[in-house]
Structure 1
Amino acid sequence: MQVDVITLFPEVVTVPLGASIMGRAREKGVLDLRVHDLRKHGMGKYRQVDDAPFGGGLAW
């Protein structure tokens, strides 16, 4: 089974899953876990991935 995870924090996904049932499944070749860092595709000097604020505020 192939699972692709897109995240801003790849360490948060890879570390816990390496030491659990998922980790054993990866070792046996049952699971193909691919973690993609969204920030690699960000824009500008700091690889920004946030969008401009939209809506919000108080509706009185």
Structure 2
Amino acid sequence: PITNSDINEAQDNSFSMRRTEVLCSKCGGHLGHVFDGGPKPSGLRYCMNSISLDFKPENKED
């Protein structure tokens, strides 16, 4: 799981757009962007680069 200490956010005004860039806090790599207008409760919509995601199977105890 991602924690607030794993990412940094920075204002990105490139291409005449105002958005928030999401960066890796360790290496500074670009992970994607976050926008307002998402679902409740946060109201945020994340647009992340797929290469930055690593899905792991959930451990289910039967």
Same fold per superposition (TM over 0.5):
no
Specify which structure has the higher proportion of strand.
2
Greater relative contact order (CA < 8 Å, ≥ 6 in sequence): 1
- TM norm structure 1: 0.24
Specify which structure has the higher proportion of helix.
1
- TM norm structure 2: 0.23
Greater Rg, structure 1 or structure 2? 1
